[in-house]
Structure 1
């Protein structure tokens, strides 16, 4: 997700020369590529300390794993957590470690999506300003780039962010919806195949090259 945000920062820099010269040109381009590395270590730490297997999760999923996979849970590698723990009075108590971990995840995703939508809006405003001073051909090309940009924002939102949010919200709300895991796995698998399509079919030169007869 942080890589996706860096991609939109670079796009904005390619449209705004002053911003690009200050933040995304030459060695400075490496700065925006450092953030995905930082986020990867951050996420690895959150997984290790908040979502790592423990005795509570093993006992919770032991019967489920045996019934669905036919294996003992000790033979399965997994990460996960329980948002609620049974107390001595059989009431559900918050598992603070799990909530801290998922809050970190939403913070990382929220920061990335904030960059995506913020710089996408900046691209939109700059493109509108440039339309009045560009030639008809350049104007048309910039419109194509913008429409491609919008679609490439919607695709990960629909195929990745919304499904993953639902996937995490279900256990957070103590809801058991087994189909969500299959649904999320399917949409994430589709994303790499669908993501390039807007550029292929919205940008005229690409579209003509694809649809032209050999």
Structure 2
């Protein structure tokens, strides 16, 4: 999906009108599917590139789902003979993993999929297309929070560091 003259012609005015950016200062990369000429080789390359990125995105989601299901089945199978404390820790780790899986799904996969769909149907998102970059940038900051909040010993350590009395948060067993 390399830059070419048709893409430049198509986005030069949009960048100036909507974002007030000079095209000479822009480096761009991406598909432009709706061209005026039918026999352009770059048009086919753009469609193939977008198709391959969509397949990679879909395979990532499928692989994550299959691994999560397999993990849940194995945890249920192997925790039947474990102590209550060990079983609790295993499920805390599992729920932390599920949450850590949902974060990239919501912050990276979903916005990218929406952007691909709008690109295929030639709908200009304008400034909203920058949301994909912002959500991807937020991901590394949010990724450790599920582990810190779901696993009991980490959560209690954080509460102690913040000087919040643990007896307020922890229910007596």
Settle same-fold status: TM greater than 0.5: yes
Aligned residue among 102, 111, 114 for 2:50 = 102
Whether the aligned pair in 2 keeps the contact of 1:167 and 1:180 (CA below 8 Å) is no
Q: Does 1:63 align with 2:13?
A: yes
Determine helix, strand or coil for the equivalent of 1:175: coil
Aligned 1:17-32 pairs, distance under 5 A: none
Number of aligned positions between the proteins: 158
| Pairwise CA RMSD | 1.9
Query: How much has 1:210 moved relative to structure 2?
Result: 0.8
Query: How much has 1:75 moved relative to structure 2?
Result: 3.5
Aligned 1:24-103 pairs, distance under 5 A: 51-67=1-17, 68-71=19-22, 73-87=23-37, 95-103=43-51
Moved over 3 A (4+): none
Determine helix, strand or coil for the equivalent of 2:35: strand
Structure with higher Rg: it is 2
Q: Does 1:145 align with 2:93?
A: yes
Residue 73 of structure 2 corresponds to which residue in structure 1? 125
Structure 1 residues not aligned, in runs of 5+ = 1-50, 89-94
Determine helix, strand or coil for the equivalent of 1:133: coil
Residue 187 of structure 1 corresponds to which residue in structure 2? 135
Determine helix, strand or coil for the equivalent of 1:111: helix
Whether the aligned pair in 1 keeps the contact of 2:118 and 2:124 (CA below 8 Å) is yes
The TM-score, its normalising length taken from structure 1, stands at 0.68
Residue 157 of structure 2 corresponds to which residue in structure 1? 209
The TM-score, its normalising length taken from structure 2, stands at 0.83
Query: How much has 1:176 moved relative to structure 2?
Result: 1.8
Distance 2:101 2:82 in 1: 25
Whether the aligned pair in 2 keeps the contact of 1:151 and 1:198 (CA below 8 Å) is yes
Distance 1:57 1:194 in 2: 35
